[in-house]
Homo-oligomer: A and B are copies of this chain.
Amino acid sequence: MGGESEKWALMVTGRTPTNIAVIKYWGKRDETLILPINDSISVTLDPDHLCTTTTVSVSPSFDQDRMWLNGKEISLSVGEFQSCLREIRSRATDFEDKKKGIKITKDDWQKLHLHIASYNNFPTAAGLASSAAGLACLVFSLAKLMNVKEDYGQLSAIARQGSGSACRSLYGGFVKWIMGKEGDGSDSIAVQLADENHWDELVIIIAVVSARQKETSSTSGMRDTVETSLLIQHRAPKRIIQMEDAIKNRDFPSFARLACADSNQFHAVCLDTYPPIFYMNDTSHRIISCVEKWNRAEGTPQVAYTFDAGPNAVLVARNRKTAALLLQRLLFHFPPQSDTNLDSYVIGDKTILQDVGVQDMKDVEALTPPPEIKDYIPTQKSKGDVSYFICTRPGRGPVVLSDESQALLDPVTGLPK
């Protein structure tokens, strides 16, 4: 171990995107290794709007592993962190920084303690895949720090053991998690189907829906489904190949039909679970109705929807023009509460709001019913059903932030800034 005074600290800051499945992962064949019962496909979301930033630091002056999430210290003793730490540590290799006079051998990494600080630029546990981005970022940043030589596929298999869908956050663009066959999970890895530039027309709008009820955690939910649903075994496996083709060919109608049908089928097997699981609520249903009516009126899909284990809608518009028309419809049906600032109601890429021509609440109130609504009843509007909208797009994979000012830990104290 190097450094004359043992006062050195080595630090890496990584940034990792979140992802949204368009062919859902639901059900494990191995609970410990987190091995799924089917392949899944996701779109990586632009980290400018939804990402986790994690700084990992190692120093001989640290006397235990510690972690802070969004500034608050949390326990590292839970299984998912422990699996990832153990797996990464076992793959650490010799590191040397001659300039700083630091040398860490493979064996040193087993003894040195870590400080980890993680920050989500979006609400944690709001059903926006914060654990996927978080675990992926932890694995990515630790791998960089510890000079791990494994490729991203192998890293994805480690992230997978932290949180299943985390494995899909190791790449940008479109990602497939191959379920694999091996008992040890070595072939249950994520691969990139296409990068974020392949289909850059797409625009994604997330409706963060206000939930009145506590939700079933996805971990216990999928366990119950596997144990009790008679329909789960009949989920359509062909959709994976069809979705791969749709992505490859930038075939939006097929992409939309497959994504919507798979989301609905996922929620159907949740309902077929005993006791039944409801993730979507009335607001989710109304968002679907709004999109379905519009798609039908246009004769071909303009927007795809997909819902994870919660009521939030993730809406994929075929292009910017469609996204503006979608946002118009969403603001018409789900206006903000009177005391809400429009600026905090539509976040992320606000340029889409400009395309809509909506600048303030007066403009929202002046919106007229979309042409596909024949029998509009004003009482159907309900303020407050949506908390806010996030405008984003498919985005890039993990990156190392080399600018030390973006680190979340103080290089001297090793504590959160």
Contact = CB atoms under 8 A, between A and B. Distances in A.
A212 interface: yes
Contacts of A288: 275-276, 278
The interface centre, meaning the residue of A213, A265, A269, A289 with most chain B CB atoms within 10 A of its CB, is A265
A261 interface: yes
A264 B260 contact: no
A230 interface: yes
Contact of A234 (B234, B273, B282): B234
The interface centre, meaning the residue of A261, A268, A269, A296 with most chain B CB atoms within 10 A of its CB, is A268
Interface in A267-322: 267-269, 271-276, 278, 281-282, 285-286, 288-289, 292, 296
A211 to B, nearest CB: 10
Contacts of A230: 234, 236, 265
Given A231-B234, A289-B213, A272 B264 contact: yes
Contacts of A405: none
A413 interface: no
A231 B286 contact: no
| Chain A interface size range | 20 to 34
A268 B272 contact: yes
A354 interface: no
Nearest to A233: B234
Contacts of A272: 264-265, 268
B276 A264 contact: yes
A402 interface: no
Nearest to A261: B274
Contacts of A234: 230-231, 234
A368 interface: no
A267 B271 contact: yes
A292 B260 CA distance: 29
B282 A212 contact: yes
Contacts of A278: 285, 288
